Amino acid sequence: MKKLLVLVTALIISAGAYAQIESPVRWSYAAKKVNDKEAIVFLKATIQSGWHIYSQTVKDGGPIKTSFEFTPSKLYAATGKTTEPSPITKYEKAFSMNVSYFEKEVVFSQKISLKSPKATAVTGKLTYMTCNDMKCLPPEDVDFTIPLAK
């Protein structure tokens, strides 16, 4: 009976180690105050080799596009759309369409209108999906807080 218990425990531990969550993308943030009324926030994805995340411009029927939602505030407001550099665009068999994506790293930027000098940070949520040549991970939501430099 002890041998069976040891065997079951070993199987559970090894299964837990095997089922580790993959996290091929790491997000970092920065902000730059342009003047007392405007700032720009930067959202940078550092992507492990072999993986990619999708552009904000992916058409319907394809993978989940990267998106940004800034929390409404009386202290600031997002101005215009979040910008991105030119993506790589290629046909992906998995989606039977051309898709635009980024590898290695990408920096998205968003202009912020400052409504009050009390605005010290911008908050929100981003959503993205990561794929490699073999599989796609489920879409992920990430909450962020970006301090505004004084």
- For 111-134, what is each residue's pLDDT tens digit? 999 999 888 999 999 999 999 999
The strand pair at 88-92 and 130-131 is best described as unpaired
Is residue 47, in this structure, part of any structural domain at all?
yes
CATH number at residue 73: 2.60.40.1250
* pTM to 2 decimal places: 0.84
Distance (Å, whole) CA 3 – CA 6 = 5
In a domain, 53, yes or no: yes
Closest CA to 103 of 37, 41, 47: 47
Q: Domain range spanning residue 33?
A: 23-147
Into how many domains does the chain fold? 1
Task: Share the mean pLDDT of the chain.
Answer: 88
Cα 84 to chain center, whole Å?
A: 13
> Is 70 inside any structural domain?
yes
Give per-residue pLDDT as tens, 5-27.
333 343 344 444 444 568 999 99
96-109, pLDDT tens digit by residue? 999 999 999 999 99
Flag whether 74 is in a domain.
Answer: yes
